[in-house]
Structure formats: C-alpha cells, structure tokens
Amino acid sequence: MTSTNDIQWKRIAAEGVAIVVSILLAFGIEAWWQDRNDVNREQHLLTALLLEFEQNGELLRQAREVYEQYYRDALRVLEVMEEDPDTIDVAELEGLVGSLLARQTFHLESGALDGLLASGEMSLIRDAMLRNRLAAWPSYAREWSEEEEAVFELVEESLVPYLSGLMRLRNVNRTFPPFPDGQAPPPIPAGSHETASLASLVASTEFDNLVYLKANGTWHAMRDGETLRAQLTAIIQLIKQNLDNQL
C-alpha cells in the first residue's frame, strides 16, 4: 500500500495549477478574440450606417428645397386669388398651377438600419445614446413619410381631378419624361392659353381650399423634415465619434 508520504503533492498541485491556468488562458483568448470580432463587426456596421445616413442627409436637403418651393408657390397662388381677375398674369398663374400639380416624393434609404434591427446585432453598438437614436429613427422617418404621402394624395385625388375638369392640364404642365431608352419625347404643340378657365380659378372657393390644404400639408412635411434632419445630424455625429474612438 502506498504511503501518503510517497505521493508527490507538489507535482500534482503544480499540474493542477497549470491546467487551471491553461483553461483560464483559453477562456481569456476566446473572450479577447470574440471582443475583437465584435469590435470589427461594430466598425463594419457603423461604416454602413454612416454611408446610409449621409445619403439620406443629401436627400433631405433636396426635399427641403423642393417642398419650400411648393410652399412658396402655393402661398403665391392664394395671393393671386385676391387680385383683380383682369390684372392676373396668365403665364405666371400657369406656372403656379403647374407647381401645385407637382407630386414628387422622396424615399429614404434604410437597408443598413433595417438589416441591423432585424439581425439582433444592435447590442454590438456599444454607445447607448447611439443605440437609442437608431431605434427611434424609423418612427421619425415614418412621420415625415406620412406627411409627404398626404400631400401626394391631395394632389393625386383632389387637385388633379378638379383642375382636369376645367382645363387641359398639359397647358399648365408641358414637361414629359424621356422614353425608357433615354431618348427625348417628340414635341407636343402647346395649345392655346385657356384664359377664361384659369381666371375662373380666382373666384373658386373649392380651389382656394385645395391650395390652402396643399400649402398646409407642405408646411407640415417641411416641419417633420427639419425634425428628421436634426435626428440625422445627431446620429451622424455619434457614428463618427464612435468610429474615431476605434482608430
């Protein structure tokens, strides 16, 4: 029977310590490697988000210019309607009516953010403030899109049908898109100015109300657009700060 004095406790203890150290070291290396992968993944996500939000910033800038012009033109129409019908500049009114019929909408890019939200990788974004702003962005974008859609629907469902009953609309909006292959469309005769129809608009309560609704809707679209721009600017700043901290 082996005596306890013959057991090499020191060697066993040393081997045990070595095993524990090896396990801890392995866990440490794995944790370091995982953290390194998470940082690289976060950097990739932030870079994609930065590109997307910068593109949206340019789109919002363009939208602001377009909607500001719509708003100014609608206010000018309401001003013209208060003037003496005999003094109305028909050419100016044509241009203003053409602006009222414009129904351009802008679609924000959201692929990178949608992918992040769907993948469950939001936790990789370590900045809590940035995570909160990214999570709130879709609701702000949706509010702006709804205001835009309301303006579009007003034109599509109310202004165009109303005006089409009074005049040939191509007399006030003569621009046509090119053919699918990029060639310009053939010229179409402008036709005669329908002065009586245009002048009759200044006495129309229905038209006055429709113009007011477009002006009001456009103002709300601009207001929500500015709120969206403020959120976007803050998000871009935070993304850049986080990317700089990783360098």
State percent of the chain over pLDDT 70. Answer: 74
Taking the model in full, what pTM does it have?
0.74
Name, in order, each residue with C-beta under 8 angstroms of 57's C-beta and a sequence gap of 6 or more.
Answer: 229, 232, 233, 236
* Rounded-to-integer distance, Cα 161 and Cα 170, Å: 13
- How does pLDDT run across 218-240, given as a tens digit for each residue? 999 999 999 999 999 999 999 99
- How does pLDDT run across 59-99, given as a tens digit for each residue? 999 999 999 999 999 999 999 888 887 788 878 888 888 88
CB-count burial class (<10 Å; 0-12, 13-18, 19+) for 108: buried
* Rounded-to-integer distance, Cα 132 and Cα 220, Å: 25
- DSSP for 52-85 reads HHHHHHHHHHHHHHHHHHHHHHHHHHHHHTTS-G
Is residue 17 scored above 80 in pLDDT?
A: no
Q: Output 119 or 203, whichever has higher pLDDT.
A: 119
